[in-house]
A and B are shown apart, each in its own frame.
Chain A
Amino acid sequence: MDLELTSAQRTFRDDVRAFVAARLPAEIRERLRAGHPPRKEDTVTWQRILNERGWAAPHWPRKYGGAELGQMERLILMDELYRAPAPLPQVFNVTMLGPVLIEFGTPAQCDYFLPRLANLDLWFCQGFSEPGSGSDLASLRTAARRDDDHYIVNGQKIWTTTAHWADWVFALVRTNSEGRKQEGISFLLIDLKTPGITIRPIRSIDGEHHLNEVFFDEVRVPASNLVGEENRGWACAKFLLGNERTGIANVGLCRERLDYARELAGCVTQGGPRLVDDPSLRREFALLEAEIRALEVTNYRFLLTPSAQQALPAFASVLKLKGVELQQDINALLGRLAGPAGLERRSADDLAHGPLTARYFYSRAASIYGGTSEVQKDILAKAIVG
């Protein structure tokens, strides 16, 4: 056992670090460091730069623009991006849809979409949740009926992150309402410019617009945009959700935010002394750091060790539960460090001031999206208690 990088891995890390240092626009770096989420143009700009090296879609096959990186190299790349901090490759395109197309898509779908997904020429969003179908995703009701060589889609999706920035949505739709609810679902790619689609913004409790409702009214989708087989879309969805595990712990994000908290505590004074001089705050930093390291080693252990995965196939839930808890704890800490000066409501465009209080509020979503913490605990409980 050892926890060292090999010399090849160290070389790769140094290569990535040098590339990021040379190519990441300072303006993007500073905005992310202050706590702002990347704007659409930040992600597009940076992903196209990464795409020059195949690092926009690092684990995809080279023929589709990927770099065929192994698990460890992917983790190193992601850590370096968080460390910078730089935007991560757009998750719906790269982590979710790309691998589904590679696994289930037709050659024509792969040839058309994959290079565009990698280069962010098309921005996809995810159309899974519905008002009545959150944790119980398979109960979804948005319907697609076959009409010759088209599907006609009617229904509603909700919590659709970045739909207002998106060109396309990959959606789960019901093509059969008989039998088991999982067996009548299909996976469709839908161009958001198609007539009959309405996108309505949802403001979150941080006052910002991240989420949307997407309404479908007699929307005609070419049958060639079906991924996999009709009524077998649940297999695509399960495959997609299973693929999220590499980034699910967000170790690098936690480390970068804690690092920023430390930096902030070194600058902010409270009636004289700096916050970082307070021993109880230093102890809090130390406790969080220990937890981050524990999560990091656990992340490596599961992702790199087949025997560990076999022993606990539901390990991704361990990573998500702990990762979310740490993200929320660190964001709450940052909200406290922002303190009274952070109470003034500011526009997201106000780059002179950090958005730490707003980010704290939005961090409460981390234990809700991508499977609530309750669902993760149910998964683990089923695995261990039966």
Chain B
Amino acid sequence: MNFELNDEQRALQASLARMLGDRYGFEKRRTYAASAAGHDEGTWHEMGGLGLTALLVPEVHGGFGGGARDLLPVMQELGAALSLEPFLPSSVLGTTALGLAADVATQETLLPALAAGEERLAWAHDEAAGRHAPWSIETRAEPRGEGWALDGRKSNVLGAGLARHFVVSARVSGRGGEPDGCALFLADSGAAGLGCRTFRLVDDTPAGELDLRGVVARPLGDPADGAQARAAIEGTLAMGIAAVCADMVGAMQSAFRLAMDYLNTRKQFGRLIGENQALRHRAADMLVSLELARSMAIAAAVAVDQSQGDDARRDLHRAKLSVGRHARALAHAAIQLHGGIGMTEEYAVGHYLRRIHVLDQLFGDGEAHADRLAELA
């Protein structure tokens, strides 16, 4: 076993941390959140410059060919800084889906541009009626002329307003809830019949809802090859789970650090509040949560990179379940240790709860993963 980052991973993490330190302090982040775009284009370009947008792109297409373990320290930094950049939808989900599903010609067109940070994708998979149920895909795809036409609605599409293309899951056969019969398609964000209502999530993340009415889209791979599409969707969701687990760990680290600083500066009754045993014990509980979550984020990343069989799937479910629970508990405690100031929007600690709540609800919440674990047992 080995739990160390390698030299490249460590160097990339340090560069990213430095860049975010310069560009993504809490006050700056507030201005990005309040801006029309909802993120910072300059930071996005710098991320491209650091090679982050190329991290998961295969080497033959100009990327680094990295995996979930390379993503881990990156997502931690982005979570710690409460990043609003469309890295998860484009550089993680869209890129992974394209790598797993698309034919070589499509990959040759898009992956180098993705690696360079010039192309942006969004992952349009979730549908409102599905909630946390996997494969609850009702969006239909039907052959039309030389291409395919999509009809349906997609909810909580992260970075929807920032994407040039959408990777859309749709059903070519079967009924909602069945893992078979789905395929992935690439739709141009300006395509006729594609309505995109953009909004922010409760943690300020830019997102949107797609309304697809006869949208002509290009299939990624052969729509008749259900097994390949299923593997691509599963692989993309697995990468997403590993990514948000790491993001939550980063958010936990920051919330933890803020709370510990506060314990050592705030005075009541003539002494530091950190001298109170009740609060010291709460801090210790937070540390336990943080360490367990850190471990499970690693387990999730390893499970994705060595994705073989039920053991890997189990670790992914366990990670999403346990990181979410520990992250929520830690965020609650961090607010409580701050008292009133922890409840204000002008102060960072409450934003970590907002982010953790959103991430906990993506790719299936804890209960949903507990159910899937129980089915595997």
Contacts and interface: CB of A to CB of B under 8 A. Distances in A.
A7 interface: no
Interface string A344-356: 1100000000000
Interface stretch (B14-22, B102-110, B293-301, B336-344): B336-344
B29 interface: no
B130 interface: yes
A333 to B, nearest CB: 11
A205 B350 contact: yes
Contacts of A374: 276, 278-279
Contact of B343 (A205, A268, A358): A205
B343 A335 contact: no
Interface residues of A, number: 47
B354 to A, nearest CB: 7
A135 B336 CA distance: 12
A205 B130 contact: no
Contact of A335 (B136, B269, B344, B357): B357
A306 interface: no
A336 B365 contact: yes
Contacts of B263: none
Interface stretch (A25-33, A114-122, A146-154, A365-373): A365-373
Interface residues of B, number: 48
A280 B134 CA distance: 19
Given A205-B345, A211-B344, A335-B357, A367 B336 contact: yes
A368 B342 contact: yes
A310 to B, nearest CB: 28
B231 to A, nearest CB: 21
Contacts of B230: none
A342 B358 CA distance: 9
A211 B270 CA distance: 26
B227 interface: no
B340 A158 contact: yes
Contacts of B335: 205, 364, 368
Contacts of B200: 344-345
B257 to A, nearest CB: 18
B255 to A, nearest CB: 12
Contacts of B177: 271-272
Given A203-B345, A205-B353, A134 B340 contact: yes
Contacts of B336: 364, 367-368, 372-373
Contact of A204 (B133, B199, B343): B343
A204 B344 contact: yes
Interface string A103-129: 000000000000000000000000001
Contact of B367 (A268, A335, A336, A341): A336
Given A343-B202, A345-B199, A357 B357 contact: yes
B308 interface: no
Interface string B250-291: 000000000000000001111000001011000000000000
Interface in A354-386: 357-358, 360-362, 364-365, 367-369, 372-374, 377-378
B155 to A, nearest CB: 7
B31 interface: no
Contacts of B199: 344-345
B129 interface: yes
Given A134-B268, A374-B279, A270 B344 contact: no
A339 B278 contact: no
A249 B199 CA distance: 38
Nearest to A328: B332
A132 to B, nearest CB: 8
Contacts of A280: 367
Nearest to B209: A344
B60 interface: no
Nearest to A138: B269
A167 to B, nearest CB: 24
Interface string A201-213: 0111101000100
Given A204-B343, A205-B353, A361-B353, A271 B361 contact: no
Contacts of B276: 374
* Chain B CB within 10 Å, residue with most, of A205, A272, A361: A205
Given A271-B177, A345-B202, A207 B345 contact: yes
Contacts of A336: 365, 367
A179 interface: no
A267 B184 CA distance: 31
A277 interface: no
Interface string A255-288: 0000000000000111110000000110000000
Given A202-B346, A332-B328, A341-B131, 6 more contacts: A207-B202, A270-B136, A271-B134, A335-B357, A362-B343, A367-B336
15 contacts: A136-B269, A139-B269, A202-B345, A211-B340, A268-B131, A271-B132, A332-B328, A340-B131, A340-B361, A340-B362, A343-B202, A343-B207, A343-B358, A344-B201, A372-B336
Interface of B: 126, 128-136, 155-156, 176-177, 199-202, 204, 207, 267-270, 276, 278-279, 328, 332, 335-336, 339-340, 342-346, 350-351, 353-354, 357-358, 361-362, 365, 367
Ranked nearest first, the 5 interchain pairs of A and B with the lowest CB-CB distance are: A271-B133, A205-B350, A271-B136, A203-B345, A136-B268
